[in-house]
Each structure stands twice: as structure tokens, then as C-alpha cells.
């Protein structure tokens, strides 16, 4: 029986790797942080609204954390739920393509806000469910291999498809060319939706609790009760603190993209360069952080934060000196922060899977992510206002300082070992 279970786990790894590669490539070619920001600037939307899209997405994700975490933990057909989330994301990105090509500026603003809000709900729903789904269906070492393999393979696929689309559409206007890239991302989401159905789910339906049936008020009270309960654990308090400290570092991608879009939105090669740089960041992040993560979680966290700090300092300096007009400068900056931010996301996710007990896994990550969302909503709204009233470079300067602070904080807060004991009193 043990041998059969091991064989089934081994079968799931390539299936989940293929499915997650498609999903990763889709997020690159239709990225809200990179692509939608670029398209919004091209459509001459207000800078404050463009920056506020980050807050809108975070707010939507927070609602999922608060009101849906209990229902997610009780989903019986998890594969079908994951498939539906991918299809919903495909529809949202498809709607943005339609309004970019055929709508006016006002219609685009409304559709962007609505779609980004829905994306926030669906993406967070998917991430919470995936945390439990992958933890049940892959062993610890296989989870690490999956996390970093999907970055590299998804990046390679995204680079190849973006470059192919760029070369095949040279005669088209910029917005049409950009929309075709997003359309390829939509197709990847659809393929991912069908691929996840082939994975074997080891959690038997009989072992899963019945589907939750409660009012929004009861869901809110359940969330508050769950948050109070989770905060009693020392490992959880440290993990939440770590996530909040890195909140401003993770905002590097959308605000680096915003300053890049402001400088190059009229360029035929601007978006292609940024997407390829973003995807190359995934390719490098996979093997780089996968190797370092075998040494220490703390090493990865510290290195990623320092990398964002130096990138932000360099870009802000070049901007204030008025010598950042070359698209290659912004492409390198996007590449660097993509490597770093992907490393942060992966290491925090793997770290949580290692330390969180099964019975607290979904509840705990929902509370942790909701706390971080509140911090990111406040931060992104503030930085959006700064970018609108002054310059985006000032927002980047803040992210730079926060990144160096996060590096120092993470060094002293976390252990040097790569894994921790998964117990209620485990240190973070």
C-alpha cells in the first residue's frame, strides 16, 4: 500500500508540474502587475487609478480570506473547484482584451476595476485551496521541486510564446499586439483548467467535512474566532510578522512596472521587453532559490530583500538623474525584482507548508494572508497617491528602504535551517 501511494505521489508530480507551468506562463503573459498596468497607461488612465488597482485586488483577496476560508476547507471536489477558478481568470482577462480593443477610456476603467476585483477574489480562493491540495498530494521534497520547476518551465514557455507573438505581429498596432499576448495567456489558463482534472486527489471525500452553510455574519464571526485562536500560537505570530514585513517588498513589481509603462507605453517593444524580462526572472528564480532554499529559508529571504533594495536604489537614482530612458534599463530592473519577489513568494509558501499542522493549514494561511492584505491595501493606496501627486520614483524609493529593513528583520527573526518542526509551538 505504501509503495502504491508513493507511486501515485510520483505520478502527481509531473501532472502538477505541467498544470502549474501553464498557469505560471498565463500569469506572466496576462499579468495584472505588468501587462494590465502597461495597457492602462497606454489607454491614458489616471495614475492614481492604475496604482489603486493593486489595492482593489488586495481588498478582493481579503474578502476571500475573511468570508470564504471556512468554505474552502470543506470543498469536496477540489480539482473541479481549481479548474473553475482558472476558467474564471481566463474570462476576466478575456474581457480586458475586448474592452482595450473595442471600448473607450471610460468603459476600460470600469472593466479593469471589475475584472481586477474578481481576479483578486478568484486568485486568493485558488491559492488557499492549492496550499491544502498540494500539501495533501505531494511530499515535502516534491513540493519544493514543483515550486521551483514551475517558475523555470513557466518562464521558458512564456518567453518563447511572447517572442513568437512579437515576431508574428510586427505589422499590427501596439495595442493589438499587446492584446494578442494576453490572449495567449487566456488560452494557457483554459488549458490549465483541464490539466488539473487529471491529478489524483488523495484526500477522500468521506474524510472531508461537509460543505459550510452559513450567513456572511456567521462567516465573519468564524473568521474573527479563528484569527484569535491562531494568534495564540507562537509559530503563527512570527509567520504573520514575517509576511507583513515583506508586504512592501512584494509591491516592487507593480510600481516598477508603473514607472516603466510611463516611460515606454508608446514603444512597440516596451511590453514585449517587460514580459520577457519578467519571465526570465521566473526562469532564474527557480534554480537559484531552489538551490539556496536547500541551505536555509533565512538566506533566501535576506537575499531577495537585499536584491529588491539595490534594484530600487539604482532605478530611482537613474530616474532622478534623468538617464533612465532606455527600455533596457527598465527591463533589467523588472528582471531583478521578478527574481527576488518570486523567491520571496516561494520561500514563504514552502516555509508555511513545512511548519503548519494539517488541521490549522487552511485556517492559518487565510488569517495570515488577510492580515498581509490589509497592510498591502494601505501601502499600495499610499504609494499610488504619492505616484499620482509627485513621481513614481518616490514610491520606489520607499520600497527600497523597506526592502533593506525587511532583510535585516528576516535575518534576526527566522532560523537558519531550511525546515521547522510542524507543531503548534514551532518557531517561525
Q: Tell me the three state secondary structure of residue 421.
A: coil
DSSP one-letter string for 211-255: PP---HHHHHHHHHHHHHHHTTSHHHHHHHHHHHHTHHHHTHHHH
pLDDT tier, 8 (very low <50, low <70, confident <90, very high otherwise): low
Is pLDDT of 220 > 80?
no
Q: Which residues of 348-372 are buried (b: 16+ CB within 10 A; e: fewer)?
A: bbbbbbbbbeeebbbbbbbbbbbbb
pLDDT at 1: 44
242: pLDDT confidence band, cut at 50, 70 and 90?
Answer: confident
pLDDT in tens, 63-89: 887 777 677 877 888 889 999 999 999
Q: Could you give the C-alpha distances from 151 to 18, 64, 154, 274, 288, in angstroms and in order?
A: 11, 25, 5, 17, 11
Q: How many CA atoms lie within 13 A of 16 on its CB side?
A: 28
What average pLDDT does the structure give for the chain? 81
Highest mean pLDDT among 10-24, 45-59, 75-89, 262-276: 75-89
Select, from the ranges 31-45, 276-290, 390-404, the one with the highest average predicted confidence (pLDDT).
Answer: 390-404
318: pLDDT strictly greater than 50:
yes
Report pLDDT for 419: 41
Predicted confidence (pLDDT) at residue 420 exceeds the cutoff of 70: no
Report pTM. 0.74
What are the Cα distances from residue 93, in Å, to 44, 246, 348?
Answer: 19, 28, 27
* Predicted confidence (pLDDT) at residue 416 exceeds the cutoff of 50: no
Quote the pLDDT of residue 336: 92
Dihedral (CA of 343, 349, 350, 355) sign: positive
- pLDDT value of position 398: 92
DSSP secondary structure code for residue 30 in this structure = T
More confident residue, 235 or 69: 235
Confidence (pLDDT) at 119:
93
CA 289 – CA 23 distance, rounded (Å): 20
What pLDDT shows up at residue 427?
A: 36
24-53: b or e for each residue (b if 16 or more CB lie within 10 Å)?
A: bbbbbbbbbbbbbbbbbbbbebebeebbbb
pLDDT of amino acid 349: 80
Q: Is the pLDDT of residue 340 over 80?
A: yes
Per-residue pLDDT at 189: 94
Show Cβ contacts of residue 88 under 8 Å, excluding neighbours closer than 6 positions.
118, 122
* pLDDT bucket at 7, cuts 50 / 70 / 90: low
CA distance 238 to 356: 12
Quick check: 2 pLDDT over 90?
no
Q: Distance between alpha carbon 127 and the CA centroid of its chain, in Å? A: 9
Note the pLDDT of residue 67. Answer: 78
Lowest mean per-residue pLDDT among 161-165, 186-190, 198-202, 380-384: 198-202
Using DSSP's 3-state secondary structure scheme, residue 419 falls into: coil
Q: Tell me what pLDDT residue 418 has.
A: 40
Under 8 Å between Cβ of 126 and 260? no
Q: What is the DSSP string of 388-414?
A: HHS-HHHHHHHHHHHHHHHHHHHHHHS
Question: What local confidence, expressed as pLDDT, does residue 6 receive?
Answer: 53
358 grid coordinates: 494539517
Answer yes or no: are the C-beta atoms of 101 and 180 closer than 8 Å: no
Where residue 311 falls among pLDDT bands split at 50, 70, 90?
A: very high
Q: Is the pLDDT of residue 426 over 60?
A: no
pLDDT of residue 87: 95
| DSSP code at position 46 | -
pLDDT at 168 over 70: yes
Least confident of 82-96, 184-198, 359-373: 359-373
Amino acid at each position: 500500500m505504501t509503495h502504491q501511494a508513493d507511486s501515485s505521489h510520483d505520478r502527481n508530480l509531473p501532472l502538477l508540474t505541467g498544470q502549474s507551468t501553464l498557469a505560471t506562463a498565463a500569469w506572466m503573459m496576462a499579468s495584472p502587475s505588468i501587462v494590465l498596468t502597461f495597457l492602462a497607461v497606454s489607454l491614458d488612465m489616471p495614475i492614481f487609478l492604475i496604482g489603486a488597482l493593486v489595492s482593489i485586488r488586495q481588498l478582493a483577496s481579503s474578502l476571500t480570506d475573511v468570508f470564504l476560508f471556512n468554505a474552502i476547507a470543506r470543498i469536496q471536489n477540489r480539482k473541479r473547484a481549481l479548474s473553475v477558478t482558472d476558467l474564471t481568470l481566463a474570462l476576466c482577462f478575456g474581457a480586458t482584451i475586448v474592452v482595450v480593443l473595442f471600448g473607450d477610456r471610460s468603459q476600460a476603467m470600469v472593466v479593469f476595476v471589475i475584472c481586477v476585483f474578481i481576479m483578486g477574489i478568484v486568485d486568493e480562493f485558488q491559492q488557499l485551496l492549492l496550499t491544502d491540495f498540494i500539501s495533501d498530494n505531494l511530499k515535502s521534497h516534491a513540493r519544493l521541486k514543483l515550486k521551483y520547476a514551475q517558475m523555470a518551465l513557466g518562464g521558458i514557455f512564456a518567453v518563447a510564446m511572447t517572442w513568437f507573438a512579437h515576431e508574428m505581429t510586427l505589422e499590427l498596432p501596439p495595442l493589438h499586439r499587446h492584446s494578442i499576448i494576453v490572449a495567449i495567456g487566456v488560452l494557457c489558463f483554459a488549458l490549465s483548467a483541464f490539466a488539473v482534472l487529471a491529478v489524483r486527489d488523495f484526500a477522500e471525500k468521506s474524510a472531508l467535512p461537509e460543505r459550510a452553510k452559513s450567513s456572511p455574519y456567521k462567516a465573519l464571526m468564524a473568521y474573527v474566532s479563528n484569527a484569535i485562536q491562531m494568534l495564540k500560537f507562537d509559530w503563527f505570530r512570527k509567520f504573520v510578522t514575517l509576511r507583513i514585513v515583506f508586504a512592501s517588498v512584494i509591491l516592487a513589481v507593480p510600481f516598477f512596472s508603473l514607472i516603466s509603462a510611463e516611460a515606454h507605453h508608446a514603444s512597440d517593444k516596451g511590453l514585449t521587453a517587460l514580459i520577457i524580462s519578467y519571465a526570465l526572472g521566473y526562469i532564474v528564480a527557480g534554480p537559484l532559490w531552489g538551490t539556496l532554499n536547500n541551505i536555509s529559508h533565512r538566506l533566501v529571504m535576506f537575499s531577495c530583500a537585499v536584491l529588491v533594495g539595490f534594484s530600487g536604489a539604482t532605478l530611482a537614482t537613474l530616474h532622478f538623474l534623468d538617464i533612465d530612458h532606455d527600455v533596457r534599463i527598465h527591463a533589467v530592473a523588472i528582471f531583478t525584482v521578478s527574481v527576488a519577489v518570486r523567491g520571496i513568494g516561494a520561500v514563504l509558501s514552502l516555509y508555511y507548508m513545512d511548519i503548519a499542522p494539517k488541521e490549522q493549514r487552511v485556517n492559518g494561511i487565510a488569517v495570515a494572508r488577510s492580515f498581509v492584505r490589509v497592510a498591502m491595501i494601505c501601502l499600495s493606496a499610499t504609494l499610488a497617491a504619492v505616484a499620482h501627486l509627485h513621481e513614481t520614483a518616490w514610491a520606489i524609493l520607499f520600497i527600497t528602504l523597506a526592502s533593506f529593513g525587511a532583510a535585516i528583520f528576516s535575518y534576526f527573526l527566522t532560523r537558519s535551517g531550511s525546515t521547522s518542526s510542524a507543531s503548534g509551538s514551532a518557531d517561525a
